[in-house]
Amino acid sequence: MYSSQLNVEYIQSIDEGKDVCKYKNLIDSVSQLETSMQKEQLADIIHTIIQNANTIDDFKFKEPDDLSSIYSLCNPDYIYPFKTINEKVLKKKLLGAWMGRICGCLLGKPIEGIKTDELIPLLKETGNYPMHRYLLRSDMNEQIYDKYKFNLRNRCFADSIDMAPIDDDTNYTVLSNVIIENYTDNFTSEDVAKVWLDKQPKSAYCTAERVAYLNFVKGFLPPQTALYKNPFREWIGAQIRVDYYGYINPGNLKKAAHMAWRDARISHTKNGIYSSMLIAAIISCAACCDDIQQTIKYALYQIPSTCRLYKAVVGIINQYNSRVSAEDCIKNIHKQYDEHLGHHWCHAISNTCIVIASLLYGNNDFAKSICMAVQAGFDTDCNGATVGSIIGMNKGIEHIPHTWTKPVNNKLNTSIFGMDILSIDELADMTFKHIISFSPQVISK
């Protein structure tokens, strides 16, 4: 219920520069009430007040949601120097992207939600620090289970599975395939909503996505589905949904970002949207550009240079170029964002910073990059998946060691109605088919 998330709403509104400080005592008082219809009614009033709140005078950022306003605030669009991609090379890149996403997700899945004050000692105790491999059930024992506050029992470890497990980070990539298959590359935001309602139960959606799902059912249409009683509107959810739009638009960053915008706006606003546009553009560029820093810089042309995310990403790049160590860069992220605060733990900006740092300091090495993304904490499976997807697209399947791909046995389990267990090879083939359908000019024999 919205009334149970009023403190998140307050922090989110402060982040956006809304003039809501004068309502803090009211919000705190309502938050402390027992759950009831009366509390929810009071929360409705607070929602209306916040929606109508002005922006503080000295707020430094301009962060619109509509596409024309977004593009008006981007740096002048760049003519990317990309040529066609050899068909065989592209197929290897697509399989690398799918497999990279799946393996990166699996690396972070058993420790999703752990904080680094326990993660680092756990990695050291299991001989996996710096992180360089999957956490295994065979690493665990009763002493370890009892030692850590984080519940490690019954987790999805790489040595206790026979395929990639169900996870929202991979479900959404498959759902994007369904959206394209059903509605082509001209899909609308409303088409995304239809697929969500048709293909998964409410329980498959979390935070902003669940709010949007419930808003669909209530009859709201995008972008209102992202705005109505949604305190999670700048969280990481949209960012983890858009890899496929990068996959099917190799070298066409603008189209990938535009498709990500159409998807993201059903559940997110501002930096929640921009992070999705950025990641889709990075993946699109990674298919064609070997220089990962240049890839990130190219992708930044697709988001407003006036937003908080842009400033944060440029800050990570500057630290890297100033020879700040990887360890200190991650420490600086932790200083700015509190992993013990749910809003920071799951926010688009904090997690994008970890993704960008892992890409830069990982030096195009698949294992080093995904391990850094997971060891950094915050949303471990999301960040591992995104980094794995990008490096997989950039380097191709042949650069992902067999030790990473072996546990999934080329199979992905999903919670999508009628799809269940899928072949990863077939998913990559379907992706190539969509490129042939909508962007055949990028492929050479």
Question: Each residue of 321-368: pLDDT tens digit?
Answer: 999 999 999 999 999 999 999 999 999 999 999 999 999 999 999 999
Residue 62 lies in a domain: no
Residue 165 lies in a domain: yes
Residue 61 lies in a domain: no
Give the length of the chain. Answer: 445
On whether the CB atoms of residues 106 and 339 are closer than 8 A, the answer is no
Residue 80 lies in a domain: yes
CATH of the domain at 367: 1.10.4080.10
> Do residues 100 and 7 share a domain?
no
- pLDDT digits 0-9 by tens, 210-235: 999 999 999 999 999 999 999 999 99
Residue 275 lies in a domain: yes
On whether the CB atoms of residues 216 and 196 are closer than 8 A, the answer is yes
CA separation for the pair 222, 148 (Å, rounded): 43
Amino acid at position 236, single letter = I
Instruction: Point out which residues pair with 444 in neighbouring strands.
Output: 86
Three-state SS at 396: coil
> Do residues 33 and 76 share a domain?
no
Give, as one character, the DSSP assignment of residue 78: P
Specify the number of domains making up the chain: 2
CA separation for the pair 346, 406 (Å, rounded): 30
> Do residues 82 and 196 share a domain?
yes
> Do residues 216 and 365 share a domain?
yes
The reply to whether the predicted model has a pTM over 0.85 is yes
> Do residues 45 and 78 share a domain?
no
CA separation for the pair 7, 342 (Å, rounded): 10
> Do residues 28 and 122 share a domain?
no
> Do residues 290 and 182 share a domain?
yes
- Which pLDDT score is estimated for 329? 98
> Do residues 360 and 392 share a domain?
yes
Residue 196 lies in a domain: yes
> Do residues 269 and 167 share a domain?
yes
- Does the pLDDT at position 77 exceed 70? no
> Do residues 79 and 44 share a domain?
no
Long-range CB pairs of 293-301, under 8 A, 24+ apart, other chains included: 293/317, 293/320, 293/360, 295/394, 296/356, 296/359, 296/360, 298/78, 298/80, 298/253, 299/253, 299/257, 300/75, 301/74, 301/75, 301/76, 301/77, 301/78, 301/253
* Residue 387 structural domain: 69-444
- pLDDT digits 0-9 by tens, 143-164: 999 999 999 999 999 999 999 9
The sign of the torsion formed by the CA atoms of 171, 373, 277, 437 equals negative
